[in-house]
Structure 1
Amino acid sequence: MDREEVAAWLRLLETPHVGRESARRLLAAFGSADAALTAPTAARREVVTAEAAKALEQPAENLPALLDATWRWLTDESTGPRHLLTLGDARYPERLLQSADPPLLLYVQGNIALLNAHSIGVVGSRNPTPQGRSNALAFSSQLSQAGWTIVSGLALGIDGAAHEGGLAGPGQTVAVVGTGLDRVYPRRHLELARRIAQHGAIVSEYSIGTPPLPPNFPQRNRIIAGLSRGTLVVEAALQSGSLITARLASEAGREVFAIPGSIHSPQSRGCHALIKQGAKLVESAEEVIEEFPPEADAPPQATLTEVDESAAALDPLVDALGYDPVTLDALVARTGWPAPELSARLLELELMGEVARLPGQLFQRVSTG
């Protein structure tokens, strides 16, 4: 894409009063961004509202600055390759093109081939339980080892763990973000975003300079669902953006998977609701993979290690913990051990990563399989 074509696309998509639907109609009617802009206003009025048609008569005041910033971003490959993809680009991801509302323009940094790879969306709570975070990391790592690309949203919590798991295998990971690609949100994921750009890919439909605006994040969920052959929800409350992603995946005819959790955990209720609505309950990465035809060029599927029950049998305290959060008093009752002895042993298990300390003086066993 040359600078003039970039300018035409930015003018079409960033002009006030011209939304995605109006831009889509203009492209369908005139064939290109430039043709839509050079068409007579009267001709545009036959396709979109009079307000939108008139708004395109003159470039917006901020267009020159936006074009300069976009061109600098696009031509600076010091941190890896960068791309702008339009709907007509042969490299545009095929699955996303088949979704209900594909972005008209995609900004991509990193390995563009991953956008057409065999991919799974992995989403969930920004405030997961330790077990939820462990599940996201383990499932994503095993799926990536099996050649699947992990698609998520770079948010705190489950998303971050999913990306880390994706980076651990050859499948790698794609982050779909709700800001311009010249910034990282949340800032805590600055280093994670750097590694994703280097080994995977970061994608956005938002122009350079776009800050983290709340409405953008539900919108980016449709891209996660659209890029993926299926979506795995690891943990989610009933009012969760992850359920939006799952709904969009289901509406697009894609598979939806959910990991069950404790009936006492608010972070499991969204997954349980999805399962009641027909999502597949999964307990291992293999159960996700087996829903899709095997790929001839995929690496051998790794096995997600189950909880080592023999180890639990050797440690009566781990066995007594079960899998739900439990209080110290309940453990005293279950084991008959004095509270000081239990506290000391729980601290040892916590340092070993086998037990998590939760708010409210609760303890929970962590499966690291």
Structure 2
Amino acid sequence: MERDELAAWLRLLGTPGIGSESARRLLATFASPQAVFQASEAALRRVVSATQAAALAAPPADLPALLDTTTAWLAASADRHLLALGDPAYPALLLATADPPLLLYAQGRLDWLRPPAVAVVGSRNPTRPGADHARAFAAALSQAGQVVVSGLALGIDGAAHEGALDAGGATIAVVGTGLDRVYPARHQALAHRIAGHGLLLSEYPLGTPPLAANFPRRNRIISGLAQGTLVVEAALQSGSLITARMAAEQGREVFAIPGSIHSPQSRGCHLLIKQGAKLVESAADILEELQAPAAPATAGLPQGGPEGDDGDPVLAALGWEPGSLDALVARTGWPAAELSARLLELELSGQVARLPGQLFQRIASA
């Protein structure tokens, strides 16, 4: 993108009072950002309000600095890009949505925008089994040739990105800040891995801080890039339900993993299932619905023996819902000390997780 064209894009998107809908109308009428600023105010007023037309006549005060920063950022590395709506590399699935970003900042491998993708989202405070599910499903989906899309948030998002990368697959992180910032800060190393092996995307200009309003809005990009959205764990007020709703509005599939009826982190998934989301127990369920090739190894609930307990009496007594030590003492008849020792062994072997409130829960395997 030439400097003059970049300046026009930044000016159009940075003009106060010009939202994405108004900007699209202007582009549809004048064909390019440069042409918008070459038009007379009278011509502009036939497309937008008089207030908006007047705002377009005055360049934003921070435009020169932003232009210099963006130009330097692009020049610093060959894996940094700007994708406008008309760019051949602009993702086709996202372009087909009702509100595609007019400009996308990208860092990493643009070729990951072409293969089929599944979004994996969920709670920022997942249970241990929930995080394990996210990693296992993401790994299996990536092994089946799907790109895993998520939002780089703590919890399920981070686990999904890690699962895809650890399996040698591809992942796209759609962030709610400028690409010169990493939020949350503890995902600095993960963002670096994604930039090297996957792709970071944002619609926000460089320097944009982590503003609360930006994150629900970026969710439409997460769902818009994918054929379907998988919600792993979500409370009833989770932002993941916003992503699921946007996916449904975009005509994409919505999937949800069920959980314990006693877990607040499962209630959002159960609500989605009641509303028509497909209940899934393995990556194969998702691939079948999307008519995609099956994964070499799929994630899902443990198989084990007839009851999935591999003959272990403590696992059989625990079942698949959180249980307390007292409840397990009553079910097994074991002394509390002996039962505690066995639970510790199961925890160390990765078969049981210790939850808040002195509860224990089995962990699903891949």
2:274 maps to which residue?
276
2:9 maps to which residue?
9
CA contact (8 A) 1:147 1:170 kept: no
Quote the offset at 1:129 in angstroms.
1.1
1:356 to 331, 353, 356: 353
3-state SS in 1 of match to 2:154: coil
Quote the offset at 1:308 in angstroms.
4.1
1:344 maps to which residue?
341
Quote the offset at 1:55 in angstroms.
1.0
1:300-352: CA deviation from partner (whole Å, max 9, x where unpaired) = 64333651423823321122111111111001101111112222222222122
Quote the offset at 1:172 in angstroms.
0.8
CA contact (8 A) 1:144 1:168 kept: no
1:32-87: CA deviation from partner (whole Å, max 9, x where unpaired) = 0000011111111111111111111121111111111111111111xx60110000
Which amino acid is 1:281 matched to?
L
1:39 maps to which residue?
39
2:298 maps to which residue?
303
- Identity, in percent, stands at 65
Separation in structure 1 between the aligned mates of residue 216 and residue 295 of structure 2, nearest angstrom: 35
3-state SS in 2 of match to 1:228: coil
Specify whether residues 119 and 164 from structure 1 end up closer, same or farther in structure 2 by C-alpha distance, changes over 3 A only: same
Quote the offset at 1:104 in angstroms.
0.2
- Give TM-score, length-normalised by structure 1: 0.96
Quote the offset at 1:249 in angstroms.
0.8
CA contact (8 A) 2:284 2:295 kept: no
1:57 maps to which residue?
57
Quote the offset at 1:93 in angstroms.
0.4
2:260 to 253, 259, 262: 262
Separation in structure 2 between the aligned mates of residue 305 and residue 103 of structure 1, nearest angstrom: 35
Separation in structure 2 between the aligned mates of residue 368 and residue 300 of structure 1, nearest angstrom: 16
1:129-171: CA deviation from partner (whole Å, max 9, x where unpaired) = 1111111111010000111000000000110111011113354
Which amino acid is 1:335 matched to?
T
Structure 2 residue runs of 5 or longer lacking an equivalent are none
Separation in structure 2 between the aligned mates of residue 271 and residue 63 of structure 1, nearest angstrom: 44
1:323 maps to which residue?
320
Which amino acid is 1:309 matched to?
G
1:312 corresponds to 2:309: yes
Separation in structure 2 between the aligned mates of residue 153 and residue 100 of structure 1, nearest angstrom: 20
Separation in structure 1 between the aligned mates of residue 310 and residue 202 of structure 2, nearest angstrom: 48
Which amino acid is 2:79 matched to?
P
Which amino acid is 2:198 matched to?
G
Separation in structure 1 between the aligned mates of residue 300 and residue 288 of structure 2, nearest angstrom: 16
1:243 maps to which residue?
241
Which amino acid is 1:32 matched to?
S
1:206 maps to which residue?
204
1:288 maps to which residue?
286
1:141 corresponds to 2:151: no
Quote the offset at 1:251 in angstroms.
1.1
1:366 maps to which residue?
363
1:171-224: CA deviation from partner (whole Å, max 9, x where unpaired) = 410000000000000011110000000000000000000000000000000001
Deviating above 4 A after TM superposition, structure 1's stretches of 4 or more consecutive aligned residues are none
Specify whether residues 309 and 302 from structure 1 end up closer, same or farther in structure 2 by C-alpha distance, changes over 3 A only: closer
Instruction: Report how many residues are paired.
Output: 364
Structure 1 residue runs of 5 or longer lacking an equivalent are none
Separation in structure 2 between the aligned mates of residue 257 and residue 350 of structure 1, nearest angstrom: 29
Which amino acid is 2:352 matched to?
V
Separation in structure 2 between the aligned mates of residue 264 and residue 202 of structure 1, nearest angstrom: 36
CA contact (8 A) 2:118 2:226 kept: yes
CA contact (8 A) 2:148 2:161 kept: yes
2:22 maps to which residue?
22
CA contact (8 A) 2:133 2:299 kept: no
Separation in structure 2 between the aligned mates of residue 349 and residue 224 of structure 1, nearest angstrom: 37
CA contact (8 A) 1:96 1:226 kept: yes
Separation in structure 1 between the aligned mates of residue 62 and residue 298 of structure 2, nearest angstrom: 53
3-state SS in 1 of match to 2:360: strand
1:107 maps to which residue?
105
Which amino acid is 1:221 matched to?
N
Separation in structure 1 between the aligned mates of residue 361 and residue 101 of structure 2, nearest angstrom: 42
Separation in structure 2 between the aligned mates of residue 31 and residue 196 of structure 1, nearest angstrom: 34
CA contact (8 A) 2:103 2:203 kept: yes
Separation in structure 2 between the aligned mates of residue 338 and residue 300 of structure 1, nearest angstrom: 44
Which amino acid is 2:112 matched to?
L
